[in-house]
Amino acid sequence: MATYKELKAQAEALLKQAEVARRAEIASVVAEIQARMKEYGITLDDLKGGAKKTKARTAVAAKYRNPATDESWSGRGRVPKWLAEEQAKGLSREAFLVK
């Protein structure tokens, strides 16, 4: 029966062999892909699949403003803590509308 050290050495040797095989297979695949790209005139842009260009997000004007701290909120997304606290005190959201 093999000892722990022997088994560990065998495992390390197998890992090295696997990495060498992996690198060889990757090189083969890359060469094949490059040959096909050249054969069909495919560019890297073609491979991107015509990714949709996203529009740049523009800042939205503030709709609500806290006069005490000058914090603002566009009215989109989650209600900010300061506005939620003011509403809990009984003030309406409209009291904070930017004029």
**Residues 72-91: pLDDT tens digits?**
999 999 999 999 999 999 99
Architecture of domain 64-96: Irregular (4.10)
Give per-residue pLDDT as tens, 13-56: 999 999 999 999 999 999 999 999 999 999 988 888 766 677 88
**What are the extents of the domains in the chain?**
4-47, 64-96
Rounded distance between C-alpha atoms, residue 3 and residue 12, angstroms: 14
Could you tell me if 81 and 73 are in contact, meaning their C-beta atoms sit under 8 angstroms apart?
Answer: no
Q: pTM of this prediction?
A: 0.45
